[in-house]
């Protein structure tokens, strides 16, 4: 389908000229280019004031983000050639820094392909198409991946709520080959079995790999609590790296069965135990029982998914961290994370600090991190810098 014009209101293109890729519906000159005339996913040429060319992208008149730029090159087309070029560029970054083919291969806007996520598990690729524009480009995307990687199997994990905002159905679909129930990956030298078909998200949280690597220096001889452990990315790593005892806590029995299997896989099963239940409830119970740990890891799901949830979500992070801090021995370490991009790094740290003060604790900020190199950040799009992790030392008030 040939692109059609989409005109931005006068003086509304500043953000796009600064590098952003999103266009909101209230920024469109709907008198000149009515949104109602567009189809979901339709290619559009974006124009600013005084007929300034801004780029080529795709539109969805039913979404608040009604268009996304894909390229600023005049004469380019939204086709397999462009997609293959972008994926090849993304692949070059990953191959430079990752010795094994286990990583996020494409991270949406930051890799120049807004609305596309591709995770690589050796010969298996797991895709998420989150926008109508990428849904329309499904076949060119698959062709480009086949040409570059020749994968053994391809799985679409389009079972994500964000697709509903684009008017798209949720589904899981095997595109090619057979998807194994379990695939072994290696992260920071630790072996893990993950399930791309049935696991959370696409099966694994690659974004925390660098933050988990920092764990190695803190764990030798320590008693460790891993809260919201999933398959034991933090906890099993801690056990393999010398922790004397690790307790992994999660609400999912299937996830905890995965923890136990991954502990056996790494030969550290005698030092890993599991607790099933709600994180808040179990943290409270552990505190009431007088349990203490040298290191507490908090890696919960996002508590803030919409701006209107910011206050309530911040309170949830505060409560979780306050409960976790109470379980620390004097001088113990808290490794705490938030993947809610609406809660800024500074605000998250304030929330944790407030919890410590309520507990009568003083914090020392030791180090911090963000998502790994396979989740690059687009400097003009704050939403791509979503993950923050702090390593903090907790001391009694002096």
Strand partners, 120: 103, 125
Asked if residues 363 and 392 have their Cβ atoms less than 8 Å apart, the reply is yes
**CA atoms of 309 and 316, how far apart (whole Å):** 10
Asked if residues 76 and 147 have their Cβ atoms less than 8 Å apart, the reply is no
**CA atoms of 14 and 245, how far apart (whole Å):** 54
**φ and ψ at 198, to 5 degrees?**
-110, -10
**CA atoms of 380 and 17, how far apart (whole Å):** 10
Those residues with Cβ within 8 angstroms of residue 60's Cβ, 6 or more apart along the chain or in another chain:
38, 40, 41, 66, 67, 131, 132, 133, 166, 167
Q: Which residues are catalytic?
A: 339
Location of structure tokens 């989150």: 130
**CA atoms of 58 and 21, how far apart (whole Å):** 11
Asked if residues 193 and 184 have their Cβ atoms less than 8 Å apart, the reply is yes
130, burial (CB in 10 Å: exposed 0-12, middle 13-18, buried 19+): buried
Cα 9–chain centre separation: 33
């Amino acid at each position: 389908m040939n692109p059609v014009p989409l005109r931005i209101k006068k003086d509304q293109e500043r953000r796009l000229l600064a590098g952003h890729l999103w266009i909101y519906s209230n920024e469109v000159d709907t008198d000149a280019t009515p949104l109602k005339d567009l189809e979901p996913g339709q290619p559009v040429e974006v124009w600013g004031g005084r007929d300034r060319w801004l780029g080529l992208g795709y539109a969805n008149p039913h979404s608040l983000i009604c268009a996304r730029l894909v390229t600023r090159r005049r004469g380019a087309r939204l086709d397999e050639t462009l997609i293959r070029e972008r994926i090849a560029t993304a692949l070059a970054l990953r191959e430079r820094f990752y010795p094994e083919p286990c990583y996020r291969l494409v991270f949406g806007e930051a890799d120049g392909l807004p609305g596309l996520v591709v995770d690589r598990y050796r010969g298996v690729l797991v895709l998420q198409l989150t926008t109508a524009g990428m849904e329309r480009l499904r076949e060119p995307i698959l062709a480009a991946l086949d040409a570059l990687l020749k994968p053994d199997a391809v799985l679409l994990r389009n079972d994500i709520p964000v697709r509903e905002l684009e008017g798209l159905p949720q589904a899981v679909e095997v595109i090619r080959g057979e998807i194994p129930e379990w695939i072994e990956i290696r992260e920071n030298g630790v072996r893990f079995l993950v399930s791309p078909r049935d696991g959370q998200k696409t099966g694994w949280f690659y974004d925390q790999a660098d933050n988990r690597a920092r764990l190695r220096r803190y764990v030798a001889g320590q008693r460790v609590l891993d809260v919201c452990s999933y398959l034991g990315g933090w906890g099993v790593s801690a056990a393999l790296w010398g922790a004397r005892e690790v307790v992994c806590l999660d609400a999912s029995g299937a996830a905890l069965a995965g923890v136990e299997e991954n502990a056996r896989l790494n030969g550290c099963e005698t030092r890993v135990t599991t607790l099933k239940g709600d994180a808040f409830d179990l943290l409270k119970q552990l505190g009431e029982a007088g349990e203490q740990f040298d290191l507490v890891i908090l890696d919960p799901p996002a508590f803030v998914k919409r701006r209107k949830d910011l206050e309530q979500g911040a309170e949830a992070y505060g409560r979780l961290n306050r409960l976790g801090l109470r379980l620390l021995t004097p001088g113990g370490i808290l490794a705490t994370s938030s993947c809610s991009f609406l809660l800024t790094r500074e605000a998250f740290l304030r929330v944790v600090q407030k919890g410590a003060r309520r507990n009568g604790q003083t914090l020392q900020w030791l180090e911090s991190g963000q998502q790994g190199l396979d989740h690059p950040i687009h400097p003009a799009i704050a939403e791509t810098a979503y993950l923050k992790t702090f390593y903090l030392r907790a001391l009694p008030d002096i």
